[in-house]
Chain A
């Protein structure tokens, strides 16, 4: 059907334009980050003639980007490890072990899923201050775990539900305690789900500004995304260096996306089709 084929190309054309509009802003930023200030002021769009990598080093050394980067890595790593551990333990128990109140507990997790951070942020900040965790790594880590745990428990529970009971029974006959079953069977079986949920949680935590702004007020403890906002004030008249800072903050996510697209999309959609 030639007419239909023509129609498909006619649809593909605006879609291609849109695709370009989707990645162009980032390409523009990358290009600007490689220019000198003079080049940027004279012409915003032209491709830079020489790559000025020194913008990246200026941005990196400027307002403690290295420090912010390290803060983000520490906090995100700890939060994700804890989320996966606590979330998979609960997911295994809620999906495979029979105990009184299990369905009520699952409902509690579901309900918590629908409480946005903005709604609880004021009392949460007060609780954290009361237990002396404001402006500490454990405080921010705990806040991230609390924020993304309901989602993690929900996904791990639905994932583990599909594991046949025979596998667990067999492991029990072999003399495994429930903890043994968790460690030797459920953790390895859950690897694909743990990978998806882990990447997604890492992205959420890495990209967050609000929670980090609230829990880590002092300059030394800023995470990378909060650091980017302070970069903006510092380099309001030096756009290329600012763009370089933005690029540095975006690179980890860019790389993750290039390699693990599928897992990210799976994580995003897992909640939608089963929920």
Chain B
């Protein structure tokens, strides 16, 4: 966007011709000296400039830079163009493959991560006894740092920790929650869902606030059961909210588990808890492979775009059928 003075002069002329400037504003500006009027015309640009500068330079520009960077080499080949080398290396890297497989797992677990807060929000909306308390208790872990949550669950899930003590009490063998490669990723994702379902819950409740109460009353008068009410009234009425929660929950799973992974498993055991975001951090911070990390970043961005668009289109189609 040009923020030069010449464009603001054009802007001022446009403002005069489109007649939006009220008579009052015109009156005030007539009383002001010429340079004051010029300052006024520039005002919107001055107010927007810091935000625009930061967003363009520190968010949009790095995105372009990163994509470009992903086609260059690391180390000896620093700065030279290497085509798709980084991407083919990514696909052959077992760590990155695990990360992708874990993304697939997240997609499979997504319906659970959306259904739990959705169902709980329904009950809270229907005012089960204690709904106010439930609302604030459920939301509470969502404000804690993933590092704090991870640290707490490090204690709870330790091999000689409380959870295994309880399981032992009912005769179940202790589980190595964070040390068994087949279990660890489920443990971490489970903790993530535990920590964040409150966030989705308040979004659902905000959605319920927009739901037509007359429809709910009609369903009650007609003697609809709870599952019927959910299926025929709540799900169609909240389709936009459900769509929003699906997308934000998936994005949350792909981008806000770093703290948990960092403190709970550091990617282990045997690299089984890698996610793309952890892989990016590892290649950049530990392996000094920024170009490879950029390729992984670009891949993550594409995954997120695809997941987001797919979910929006799927849910839109589902919404049309009901």
Contact present for B40 and A178 (CB under 8 Å): yes
Bound: A39/B63 CA distance, A: 52
Tell whether B143 is near chain A: CB-to-CB under 8 Å. yes
Q: What is the interface size of chain B, counting residues whose CB is below 8 A from a CB of the partner? A: 103
Tell whether B272 is near chain A: CB-to-CB under 8 Å. no
Which residues in chain B, 20-72, are within 8 Å of chain A measured between CB atoms? Answer: 20-22, 24-25, 27-28, 31, 36, 39-40, 43-45, 47-48, 50-52, 54-63, 65-66, 69
Tell whether A62 is near chain B: CB-to-CB under 8 Å. no
Contact present for A257 and B143 (CB under 8 Å): yes
Tell whether B15 is near chain A: CB-to-CB under 8 Å. yes
Question: Which secondary structure dominates where chain A touches chain B?
Answer: helix
CB closest chain-A residue, reference B305: A114
Contact present for B55 and A150 (CB under 8 Å): yes
A181 to chain B, nearest CB (A): 9
Q: Which of the residues A97, A119, A209 comes within 8 Å of B145, measured between beta carbons?
A: A209
Contact present for B60 and A112 (CB under 8 Å): yes
Contact present for B139 and A16 (CB under 8 Å): no
Tell whether A149 is near chain B: CB-to-CB under 8 Å. yes
- Per-position binary interface string of chain A over residues 207-250, scored 1 when its CB falls under 8 Å from any chain B CB and 0 otherwise: 11110011000000000011011001000000100110010011
Bound: A9/B154 CA distance, A: 34
Contact present for A253 and B145 (CB under 8 Å): yes
Bound: A265/B52 CA distance, A: 28
Tell whether A275 is near chain B: CB-to-CB under 8 Å. yes
Bound: A116/B62 CA distance, A: 11
A12-B129, A12-B130 given. 18 additional CB < 8 A pairs?
Answer: A15-B123, A19-B134, A19-B138, A22-B141, A89-B50, A89-B51, A90-B50, A99-B8, A120-B59, A122-B297, A123-B62, A142-B54, A175-B28, A207-B148, A225-B147, A250-B145, A261-B136, A272-B244
Q: Which of the residues B43, B203, B294 comes within 8 Å of A122, measured between beta carbons?
A: B294
A93 to chain B, nearest CB (A): 4
Question: Which chain A positions have C-beta within 8 A of B308?
Answer: 114
> A residues engaging B (CB < 8 A)?
8-9, 11-12, 15-16, 18-19, 21-23, 25-26, 28-29, 32, 44-45, 86-87, 89-90, 92-94, 97-102, 104-105, 108-109, 111-112, 114-127, 142-143, 145-146, 149-150, 153, 169, 172-173, 175, 177-179, 182, 203, 206-210, 213-214, 225-226, 228-229, 232, 239, 242-243, 246, 249-250, 253, 256-257, 261, 264-265, 268-269, 272-273, 275
Are A210 and B281 also in contact (CB < 8 A) when A109-B55, A118-B297, A265-B202 are?
yes
Contact present for A269 and B203 (CB under 8 Å): yes
Contact present for B207 and A273 (CB under 8 Å): yes
Question: Which chain B positions have C-beta within 8 A of A250?
Answer: 144-145, 148
- The 8 closest A-B CB pairs, nearest first, are A207-B145, A146-B58, A90-B51, A178-B43, A269-B206, A120-B62, A93-B47, A123-B62
Question: Which chain B positions have C-beta within 8 A of A225?
Answer: 145, 147-148, 259
Tell whether B254 is near chain A: CB-to-CB under 8 Å. yes
Contact present for B280 and A122 (CB under 8 Å): yes
Which residues in chain B, 118-140, are within 8 Å of chain A measured between CB atoms? Answer: 120, 123, 126, 128-130, 133-134, 136-140
Contact present for B146 and A207 (CB under 8 Å): yes
Contact present for A275 and B144 (CB under 8 Å): no
Bound: A29/B202 CA distance, A: 26
Contact present for A116 and B300 (CB under 8 Å): yes
A258 to chain B, nearest CB (A): 9
- Per-position binary interface string of chain B over residues 257-278, scored 1 when its CB falls under 8 Å from any chain A CB and 0 otherwise: 0110011000000000000110
Tell whether B290 is near chain A: CB-to-CB under 8 Å. yes
Question: Which chain B positions have C-beta within 8 A of A118?
Answer: 255, 258, 276-277, 280-281, 297, 300
Contact present for B294 and A8 (CB under 8 Å): no
Contact present for A119 and B44 (CB under 8 Å): no
Q: Which of the residues B15, B31, B120, B143 comes within 8 Å of A253, measured between beta carbons?
A: B143
Contact present for B47 and A92 (CB under 8 Å): yes
CB closest chain-B residue, reference A225: B147
Question: Which chain B positions have C-beta within 8 A of A269?
Answer: 202-203, 205-206
CB closest chain-B residue, reference A90: B51
CB closest chain-A residue, reference B156: A25
Contact present for B44 and A97 (CB under 8 Å): yes
A127 to chain B, nearest CB (A): 6
Tell whether B293 is near chain A: CB-to-CB under 8 Å. yes
Q: Can you name 14 A-B pairs with beta carbons within 8 Å?
A: A45-B162, A86-B51, A89-B47, A99-B11, A100-B10, A108-B52, A108-B55, A112-B60, A146-B59, A150-B59, A209-B147, A210-B262, A228-B263, A264-B139
Contact present for A93 and B44 (CB under 8 Å): yes
Tell whether B161 is near chain A: CB-to-CB under 8 Å. yes
Question: Which chain B positions have C-beta within 8 A of A25?
Answer: 152-153, 156
Contact present for B24 and A173 (CB under 8 Å): yes
Are A26 and B123 also in contact (CB < 8 A) when A115-B63, A121-B284 are?
no
